[in-house]
Amino acid sequence: MFAHEFMRNALIAGSFVGLACGLVGYFVVLRAQVFAGDALSHVAFTGGLAAAVLGLNILAGVFAATILGGIVMGLLGDKARADDVTIGSLFAWTLGLGVLFLTIFTTQDSAGNGTAGVRVLFGSIFGLSAADVRTSVVLAVLACAILLAIARPLLFASLDNAVAAAQGVPVRVLGLGFLALLGLVAAQATQAVGALLLLGLLAAPAGAAHRLTANPYRGLLLSTLFSVGSIWIGLTLSYAFPTLPPSSMIIAAAVGIYLLALATTIPRARAVWPRPANANVAA
């Protein structure tokens, strides 16, 4: 398996993408911003296709779009926490734009290169070049470094926004910066699992970690382990059974881990948390 260069590239890039997704995902779940991740995945799709139409580098388009998208979402909401309906309306439109670009791209390119859309939507981790791997490693390390640098105040702001603000933590700037960082990581993940599936890599490992521990440092560690682990499992499965697409297998592994975490914690969760009277107030 390690004899093939494409497999080595995929494993290296995948590990770093997993690292960044696990770390950022932990905060995404903690701040209940999974929907923002969902929105960014659609922004990534449109950005990639817009770049394809303009003849630019697809990856550059994805990065520009998701970072911009993160900042816009931060600006739209109060306390840098955009509300669901605004995000929903915005990304429904973004997706419409994406469809427009897809049409332009497929009609413009008479060579019949209709696969760009699919590649952006579902990733192409086995097609990475050595240069792609270098970029993705550098960016992942950068994202992780920024996140670890702001981890403590961000944790404080995420757990209790009002108290953190009263203590002089720049809550709004942190929230904005975090969404921009989320955009960066989302673009990273688009390369590995595609725009549509990156949500799974953000939500599932982190969700599992939150189920298993309330300690933030242990949670961050677990979330990262799960996310890197699911990329390895997914890539191995896809290598062993070539008909199975790698991105689907990665997400399947991540969701599998999440379900295992749910299964192991359900009895304990019932005992510790009796169902409160307002448990099923609609979200």
Partner 1 sequence: MATVMPEAAVFQGLSWNPLTDVQQLFTYPFMVNALAAGTIVAVMAGVTGWFMVLRRQTFAGHTLSVIAFPGAAAASLAGLPLAVGYFGFCGLGALALAGIAGSRRSLSAESAAIGALQALALALGFLFVTLYHGVLNGLDSLLFGTFLGITTQQVVVLLAVAAAAVGLVAIAARPLFFASVDADVARAGGVPVSALGFGFLLVLGLSVAETSQITGALLVFALLVTPAATAHQLTARPALGIALSVALALAVTWLGLALAYFSIYPVGFYITSLSFGLYVLVRLGRALGRRRRATARLALRAA
Beta carbons of 125 and 7 less than 8 angstroms apart: no
Q: Does 106 bind partner 1 (CB under 8 A)?
A: yes
Q: Does 32 bind partner 1 (CB under 8 A)?
A: yes
DSSP state of 167: T
Q: In a 3-state reduction of DSSP, which class is residue 151? A: helix
Of residues 219-258, those binding partner 1 (CB under 8 A)? 243-245, 247-252, 254-255, 258
Q: Does 162 bind partner 1 (CB under 8 A)?
A: no
Q: Does 96 bind partner 1 (CB under 8 A)?
A: yes
Question: Which one of 25-33, 52-60, 165-173, 183-191 is the stretch in contact with partner 1 (CB under 8 A)?
Answer: 25-33
Among 10, 11, 30, 73, binds partner 1 (CB under 8 A): 30
Beta carbons of 181 and 50 less than 8 angstroms apart: no
Q: Is the dihedral of CA 215, 261, 188, 83 positive or negative?
A: negative
Q: Does 201 bind partner 1 (CB under 8 A)?
A: yes
Tokens of 277: 């009277």
Closest separation in Å from C-beta 131 to partner 1: 26
By C-alpha distance, which of 277, 279, 7, 10 is closest to 136?
10
Q: How many residues interact with partner 1 (rule CB under 8 A)?
A: 70
Q: Does 66 bind partner 1 (CB under 8 A)?
A: no
Give the C-alpha separation, 78 to 44, whole Å.
Answer: 24
Q: Does 204 bind partner 1 (CB under 8 A)?
A: yes
Closest separation in Å from C-beta 138 to partner 1: 26
Give the C-alpha separation, 112 to 99, whole Å.
Answer: 17
Q: Does 183 bind partner 1 (CB under 8 A)?
A: no
Closest separation in Å from C-beta 82 to partner 1: 11
DSSP states of 90-142 as a string? HHHHHHHHHHHHHHHHHHH-TT--THHHHHHHH--GGG--HHHHHHHHHHHHH
Give the C-alpha separation, 95 to 41, whole Å.
Answer: 10
Among 13, 31, 77, 171, binds partner 1 (CB under 8 A): 31
Q: What is the number of alpha carbons within 13 Å of residue 190 lying toward its C-beta? A: 36
Among 87, 120, 125, 187, binds partner 1 (CB under 8 A): 87
> Which positions touch partner 1 (CB under 8 A)?
29-35, 37-38, 42, 84-90, 92-93, 95-97, 99-100, 102-104, 106-107, 114-115, 117-118, 121-122, 194, 196-197, 199-204, 206-207, 210-211, 243-245, 247-252, 254-255, 258, 269, 273, 275, 277-283
